[in-house]
Amino acid sequence: MRLKSTFKSLTIALVMVITANSFAQDSFQGQAIYMSKTTVDMESFGGRDMSPERKKAITERMKSMLEKTFILDFNKTESTYKEDEALESPGGGRGFRFGGMTSAGTVYKNVKDNQLLQDQEFFGKQFLIKDSLTTFEWKMSGESKQIGQYTCFKATATKKVDAADWTNMRRRGGKDGRQDNDKKDTAEAKQDSTKVKGDKDPFENIEIPEEVEVTAWYTMSIPVNSGPGEYWGLPGLILEVNSGRTTILCTKIVLNPADKDEIKKPTKGKEISQEDYQATVKKKMEEMREMFRSRGGRGGRGRN
């Protein structure tokens, strides 16, 4: 029995040595596959007036943009995170977001140089977001759980929400703003009995929160300071992220794969800072809102 225990201890020690040596190599590289799934608050998009069958049909059609697979290629200091083009739905477009207004490309991070590069398309214009990495004030809880074969630890932080992140849209007032907006709709209807429902500004009762809470699970078994998308800054690879209505979960990891994908910086597009890009998005969204108002909210037909 003692011999068996000794053999087990030696095996564990040998595995730890091999793992440590693999990370010590200058040529070390890994690849992680992530599944991203987003749920949508149908109430924020007129769902209150839809039948259950209608909601289900719309949800099914949106599935290709709400459930995606991403690939993270990483070494000790750099990483690229991009959608798996092999699994991209026909005609879906890369990183489809906000009704076709934007499509997200490769996210490149360099933790050594504190550099972020992101290939981003917005209303047909190509941008290259160039900035320092987002700083997350992670709070460690000490809580742990198992993800696959890896023991992971919990960390939480808050982050500012992207101005074009429609997945976090919600009705104003409380959790979904339903009660407040129902009262407001009733009051408006009494004031204007000729009001046409289709004339209502769709942006009026919808908001995007300024911040959301992020929960991350990381493993110190893979001691690299990286994770999916913009996330980084923990003492191990981040295997799961819960942010707003989106969950990103690692489903496969390969360390030092035989066929390594080169970690390349994105280069196409007009260089712009994250702050200036957000200002560009907000300005365009406000222009769209004003255009809707000027057309009477009826697709340009105007009022009779």
CATH number of the domain residue 151 falls in? 2.50.20
Asked whether residue 39 carries a pLDDT value surpassing 80, the answer given is: yes
Q: What is the C-alpha R_g of the chain?
A: 23
Average pLDDT over residues 42-52: 61
What is residue 215's predicted lDDT score, i.e. its pLDDT? 97
Mean pLDDT, rounded, for 199-206 = 57
Average pLDDT over residues 181-193: 45
Residue with more model confidence, 262 or 64: 262
Q: Which long-range contacts (CB under 8 A, 24 or more apart) does 179-182 make?
A: 181/205
Q: What is the mean pLDDT of residues 29-48?
A: 78
| Residue 50, domain member (yes or no) | yes
Pick the residue with more confidence: 37 or 47? 37
Categorize the per-residue pLDDT at 168 as very low, low, confident or very high, splitting at 50, 70 and 90.
Answer: low
Residue 43 included in any domain: yes
Higher pLDDT, 104 or 247: 247
Instruction: Determine the pLDDT at residue 294.
Output: 75
More confident residue, 205 or 128: 128
Neighbours of 213 (CB within 10 A): 11
Characterize 6-38 residue by residue with b for buried, 16 or more Cβ atoms within 10 angstroms of its Cβ, and e for exposed: eeeeeeeeeeeeeeeeebeeeeebbbbebebeb
User: Structural domain tally of the chain?
Assistant: 1
- pLDDT winner (highest mean) among 67-71, 200-204, 274-278: 67-71
Provide the pLDDT for residue 194.
43
In a domain? residue 300: no
Which of left, alpha, beta for 58 (phi over 0: left; psi -120 to 50: alpha)? alpha
Whether residue 6 lies inside any domain: the answer is yes
pLDDT at residue 184 greater than cutoff 60: no
What mean pLDDT is predicted for residues 25-44?
A: 82
In a domain, 90, yes or no: yes
Whether residue 292 is contained in a domain is answered as no
Residue 183 to residues 87, 142, 208, 281, Cα–Cα distance (Å): 45, 45, 21, 31
Note down the domain range covering 243.
Answer: 2-169+208-272
Nearest to 162 by CA among 107, 234, 239: 107
Residue 201 to residue 71: CA distance in whole angstroms: 39
pLDDT: which is higher, 127 or 14: 127
Is residue 294 in some structural domain? no
Which tens digit of pLDDT belongs to each residue from 222-280?
Answer: 999 999 999 999 999 999 999 988 999 999 999 998 888 889 999 999 999 988 998 88
Report the pLDDT averaged over residues 46-67: 69
155/48: higher pLDDT:
155
| pLDDT value at residue 69 | 95
User: Among the listed ranges 157-161, 193-197, 266-270, which one has the minimum average pLDDT value?
Assistant: 193-197
pLDDT recorded at residue 18: 41
Average pLDDT over residues 143-147: 97
Query: In this structure, is residue 250 part of a structural domain?
Result: yes
